[in-house]
Amino acid sequence: MDIVETKDAVRHRYDRFAERGGNREACCGQAEAQPCCGYAVGEGLYSDTDLAVVPDGALDLSRGCGNPTGFADLRAGEVAVDLGCGGGMDVILAARKVGPDGLVIGIDFAPTMIERARENVAKAGLAERVKLRAEDIAETGLADGVADVIISNCIINLCPDKDAVYREAYRVLRPGGRLAISDIIFTEPIPADLQERFRSVAAGCLAWAIPEAIYLDMVRASGFDDLKVVACHRLGPEEVQAMARCPGAEFSPPVNDRDLGAVFGKMASCKFTAGKPV
């Protein structure tokens, strides 16, 4: 698939997922979110305090691989942008951290997902400090330098044009602003023919994932500095299987078992921070 076809396929999947309202069983067929493409909830990356303030609707739509609000150092009064906000889980947590004088802008290109996020933000009582926009995260439509911090949770891996996403993030951040990103990467290069098979069906979080070294060099090439890897969780076989079908088996095409086996032990959730120079 080319860039346009890939984006259309991914948008359609997540719109269908949002239309159904999501759930913590849709991805892995289990009552809990572990192991799953939304394993961050079940892995304890969110505290009980965090989970207690997030409406069930947002939890059910969560497909994150980390908790960027936990390492973004969000402060009262800041403007934060969530790239690929989904059902609003991280938007809600960020809004509580920036307080009534701050603002969180959630961006997602699936219109139905934005509708669900709007419902969940309202249930959390945070509508006055959140703005939600149905836009491509590579072309947000936001003003230059509007954000103090940009967060993203397991979304940029889905994008075939990651360099465009990071150029856009750089533009939207003010000088001295920062990134806090959780994303899926390969820990080493994989054969080109294998990657092409994943991309031919836009296979969940596998299709457009790239090796860690290439990914981080791309972030630096976009202008960011002071890049620090906070943590890197290597995915187990069941987690890789779930990632291949994200946001759930009924929404994404199956992937050949032999191809999946070839990347066992070679995928990870990488959390990192970086800054825009002053």
pLDDT tens, residue by residue, 168-198: 999 999 999 999 999 999 999 999 999 999 9
Q: Where are the alpha helices (DSSP H) in the chain?
A: 3-19, 39-42, 48-52, 56-61, 89-98, 111-123, 162-172, 192-200, 212-221, 237-244, 257-261
Beta-strand pair 267-275/225-234: antiparallel
Q: Is the pTM of this model over 0.85?
A: yes
The whole-number pLDDT of residue 43 equals: 62
The whole-number pLDDT of residue 31 equals: 38
pLDDT one-digit tens code per residue, 110-159 = 999 999 999 999 999 999 999 999 999 999 999 999 999 999 999 999 99
pLDDT one-digit tens code per residue, 232-260 = 999 999 999 989 999 988 899 999 999 99
Q: Residue-wise over 164-181: b if at least 16 C-beta within 10 A, else e?
A: bbbbbbbbbbeeebbbbb
Domain residue spans of the chain:
3-275
> CATH classification of 3-275, choosing from 3.90.380.10, 3.40.1160.10, 3.40.50.150, 3.40.50.720?
3.40.50.150
pLDDT one-digit tens code per residue, 72-113 = 999 999 999 999 999 999 999 999 999 999 999 999 999 999
Q: How far apart are CA 108 and CA 176, in angstroms?
A: 25
